[in-house]
Amino acid sequence: MPGINRHKQLSFVLAGLFGILTLRLAQLQLVQGSRYARLSERNHVRRVVLSAPRGRIFDCRGQLLADTRPSFTVSVIPTEMDSTTLLLLSRLLGIPLSELQSRVRPFSLTPSPVTVRRNLDIASVLRLEENSFRLPGVRVSVDPIRCYPAGEADCHVLGHLGEAGEQDLGPDSDYRLLDYIGRDGIEAQYERLLRGHDGYEYIEVDARGREIGTIAEKRPVQPVPGLDLHLTIDQRLQELCLNLTAGYRRCAVVGMDVRTGAILCLVSRPVFDPAMFLSPIPGETWARFTAGQDKPFFNRVTCAGYPPGSVAKPIVALAALHHGVVTGHTRFEPCTGSYKYGNRVFRCWARHGSLDLTGAITHSCNIYFYQLGLTLGLDSLVSFCAGMPLGRITGVDLPAENPGNIPSRAWLDAKYGKGKWTSGVLLNFAIGQGEILTTPLQLCVTYAGIANNGVFPRPHLLAAVDSAGRRIMQTKVLADTTQLASNDLKLVKRALERVVTYGTARTAQLKEIPIAGKTGTAQNPGADHAWFVGYAPADDPQVVFAVLVENAGHGGTVAAPIASRLIQASLDSDASADNESD
């Protein structure tokens, strides 16, 4: 019967299809059920990172130097965007489309949020909310952002943040691309302490990727803020230093506690606002900051190498006394304003006549030190400097410190060829010129060691670390000691007092505070650099300052008055009143 056969065939087909569907359903439910459950959850549940606030940074008096505040951040999830998302976002935020595309393109396959703009103003946030139905894959969140209440005043102390790149990621890294990370200064030096630990929460999203709300069943992990740092910097002194140097284009100033190495102020000009790195920097702005010689991001206190000029003469004098080639009474050929050595004529800035060692330091006589250098010899001078914080880093807790240069015989052979340099280099070396290079911080520490009878304190900025308001670490005072004869130190220290009382640094005099120090006017391809390095009170040293003003002329005219104002303020219990009068 044809009709019965067709019925049976149809039954077999239906039974086969039912069997296949049953098997497929069993496979989906029993074999692959957990996998598809995870995929389904992933489609409607989003794991969102909660950024940890960075630790705060305070000065020595508890004034806040760096904090975090809430800020609106707009991100895109590339896998949830459509073709018009970036175009509309560009119009609403006023960001060039090409900038957005270049920002997002490297992450085009990622399902995680990619930050496109931080620190968004409220008007922009409202525009995004009004157009949210046309912006799939766009989310606005509230995240902590760094802020610097003192603005540019502490830029070379605190440094700045940048966004983490591929070089910051690795198997042991917990950074995500575009996370903030310390790039310079204290922010970079103590990144590990300041960073904290991110948390996360789970957000339910609809089929278009729009966030509905948090999922109560999945408990969030709260972020752990970074540790709080207390610095040795005195912000009142820091701001006074900025005021005193406001008229100079490029300079470097550092002050330190002679006894502990605690840095009281550190200013390098030009300055910049560290908050500028928290948002994308327009190309023309970046070009303006990086072109020319000013280099505002360059910390001249720790990273620049300058010829010390006559500030080096007390060190040369100590070396000569140490090696026994002179006494305080030694006199050389009188200064007539010039000194002929070989075929060259070396100059002095005045005609000083016959001087002893104290007089030569007091009046900064080049002719005396040319002859002293020849008598001492290169090797003896270099070996003495090896015991000082010169030609090597001081160990300050800032990144990228410059070791400077003390030109040894081997160094000169490498530069000029073996035996192809003359003793003429030694004459320049003896007055702090030629290939000798130092940082302002190195000279500050060196003079601290002279004031401190051969104990050179290790300079540092970190004083203590707090966790949740509880002190967990206090910086230990460290120092390096060089054996210097007390009579040698006594002679040089007396000469440094006379420099301020009778010599080239009379502009540094204060009525009630005796100051000891040395001026320098260092030659270089442009106008001379002005130096002063000194400590006070001369009879009971507590503070030491190094001041360098590029291309400003004589140290006694320019640098010494700045140092004396800072010395006065640092030793004055009412330093704030002094600052306000400026």
The answer to whether the beta carbons of residues 390 and 439 sit under 8 Å apart is no
Mean pLDDT, residues 417-446: 95
**pLDDT confidence of 579, banded at 50, 70, 90?**
very low
357 has a pLDDT exceeding 60: yes
* Beta bridge partner(s), residue 115: 75
Task: Give the pLDDT confidence score for residue 43 in this predicted structure.
Answer: 60
Residue of 30, 19, 278 lying closest to 163 (CA atoms): 278
Residue 336 CA, distance from chain mean position: 46
577 has a pLDDT exceeding 50: no
Task: Give the pLDDT confidence score for residue 77 in this predicted structure.
Answer: 87
**pLDDT confidence of 34, banded at 50, 70, 90?**
low
Query: Positive or negative, the Cα torsion across 100, 103, 106, 111?
Result: negative
Relative to beta strand 64-76, strand 57-58 is antiparallel
Task: Give the pLDDT confidence score for residue 33 in this predicted structure.
Answer: 63
Q: The tokens of 394 are what?
A: 């001081």
Task: Say which range, 375-379, 459-463, 576-580, has the weakest mean pLDDT.
Answer: 576-580
Task: Give the pLDDT confidence score for residue 6 in this predicted structure.
Answer: 72
Task: Give the pLDDT confidence score for residue 423 in this predicted structure.
Answer: 87
Task: Give the pLDDT confidence score for residue 582 in this predicted structure.
Answer: 40
37 has a pLDDT exceeding 80: no
Mean pLDDT, residues 49-61: 95
The answer to whether the beta carbons of residues 64 and 56 sit under 8 Å apart is yes
**pLDDT confidence of 578, banded at 50, 70, 90?**
very low
Query: What is the SS3 assignment for 208?
Result: coil
Mean pLDDT, residues 541-557: 97
**pLDDT confidence of 49, banded at 50, 70, 90?**
confident
Mean pLDDT, residues 427-456: 97
DSSP 249-278: SSEEEEEEETTT-BEEEEEEES---GGGGG
- H-type alpha helices, 72-184: 85-93, 97-104, 122-130, 155-158
Query: Cα(269)–Cα(399) distance, rounded to whole angstroms?
Result: 18
Q: Report the percentage of the chain scoring pLDDT > 70.
A: 93
Neighbours of 470 (CB within 10 A): 8
**CA angle centred on 549, ends 543 and 551, rounded to 5°:** 160
567 has a pLDDT exceeding 70: yes
Task: Say which range, 23-32, 85-94, 118-127, 474-483, has the weakest mean pLDDT.
Answer: 23-32
Query: Cα(361)–Cα(376) distance, rounded to whole angstroms?
Result: 16
Query: Cα(74)–Cα(178) distance, rounded to whole angstroms?
Result: 13
Global pTM reads 0.89
Task: Say which range, 284-288, 346-350, 360-364, has the weakest mean pLDDT.
Answer: 284-288
pLDDT digits (tens, 9 = 90+) for 212-226: 788 877 889 999 999
Rg of the chain in Å (alpha carbons): 33
Task: Give the pLDDT confidence score for residue 208 in this predicted structure.
Answer: 67
Mean pLDDT, residues 167-184: 85
Mean pLDDT, residues 92-109: 86
* Beta bridge partner(s), residue 51: none
Q: Report the percentage of the chain scoring pLDDT > 90.
A: 70
Mean pLDDT, residues 288-297: 89
Task: Give the pLDDT confidence score for residue 243 in this predicted structure.
Answer: 97
Mean pLDDT of the chain: 90
Query: Cα(543)–Cα(451) distance, rounded to whole angstroms?
Result: 9
Stated length of the chain = 582
**pLDDT confidence of 209, banded at 50, 70, 90?**
low
Residue position matching structure tokens 């560290």 = 274
Residue position matching structure tokens 């603005």 = 151
The answer to whether the beta carbons of residues 269 and 570 sit under 8 Å apart is no
- H helices, E strands: number in the chain: 20, 21
Residue of 31, 43, 50 lying closest to 77 (CA atoms): 43
- Greater confidence (81 vs 491) lies with 491
The answer to whether the beta carbons of residues 328 and 464 sit under 8 Å apart is no
- Greater confidence (174 vs 484) lies with 484
Residue 213 CA, distance from chain mean position: 41
